[in-house]
Amino acid sequence: MAEQSTRVTDDEVLKVIEDHLVVRGVSAERIVRGATWKADLGIDSLDILTLTQELEDTFHVKIGEEDAIDIRTVGDAIDYIVRVSGARTESEAHGV
């Protein structure tokens, strides 16, 4: 039986971000890679915190406090989740 890829894609992360923000009144058209949380999307610190938690829970990753500070745009979040989930997947594949 072929092994299924567990690698997270950009689209999967974007979908979680969109779902989280749209219910908070952010227009889906505004949720693009270059959009900043506060200036472009108008979300506050609590929204960012709950989004971070949702990303951690959904993709089974841990976003450290210092890393979270550096995640300022939708694209930053996507890139971070894809990178750390890929690193985790590589470790699992090698039995680490």
Closest CA to 60 of 23, 96, 27, 13: 13
Q: Is 79 a catalytic residue?
A: no
Cα 16 to Cα 80: distance, rounded to the nearest angstrom: 14
Catalytic residue among 10, 44, 67, 70: 44
The 8-class DSSP code of residue 4 comes to P
**Which residues belong to the active site?**
44
